[in-house]
């Protein structure tokens, strides 16, 4: 499979590349397409490509972006962004991308107690919830 972790450059032609790569799928051998967009919706780089419906898994980076991440005891911004991603993106599964430690990202780390008591119970009921991705 191919993972689109595009964080710069241009937003053009990623949809074309996704269509081209998905053409390599054959009966019995699928080419999986995944993406790791940043949480502001739509993603500045691969937002258009994600609308093609060709991506199997999307690992949304819910960190380093205060408008859509957990912030010191409050996950309202993250929850609102999660609902937008899971409603508007035609992917099979969407994963909650988080920093594994406070040092792994500039912001957005969620203490384990808050993750398990507040965040996961609020989002894991989503039909597209795939799990958690740690950076």
Structure tokens at 55: 């991506």
Catalytic positions, please?
A: 7
How far is 85 from 72, CA to CA, in rounded Å?
22
Nearest C-alpha neighbor of 21 from the set 56, 59, 47, 70 = 56
| CB-CB contact of 97 with 36 (8 Å) | yes
Q: Three-state SS for 82?
A: helix
Kindly list the strands in the beta sheet with 2-4, ordered across the sheet, starting from the edge strand earlier in the chain.
Answer: 2-4, 33-35, 57-61, 93-98, 129-134
């Amino acid at each position: 499979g191919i993972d689109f972790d595009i964080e710069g450059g241009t937003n053009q032609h990623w949809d074309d590349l996704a269509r081209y790569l998905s053409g390599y799928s054959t009966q019995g051998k699928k080419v999986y397409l995944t993406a790791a967009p940043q949480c502001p919706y739509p993603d500045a780089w691969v937002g258009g490509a994600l609308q093609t419906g060709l991506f199997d898994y999307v690992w949304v980076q819910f960190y380093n972006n205060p408008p859509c991440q957990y912030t010191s005891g409050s996950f309202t911004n993250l929850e609102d962004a999660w609902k937008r991603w899971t409603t508007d993106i035609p992917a099979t599964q969407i994963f909650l991308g988080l920093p594994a430690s406070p040092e792994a990202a500039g912001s957005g780390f969620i203490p384990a107690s808050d993750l398990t008591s507040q965040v996961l119970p609020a989002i894991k009921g989503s039909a597209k919830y795939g799990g958690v991705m740690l950076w």
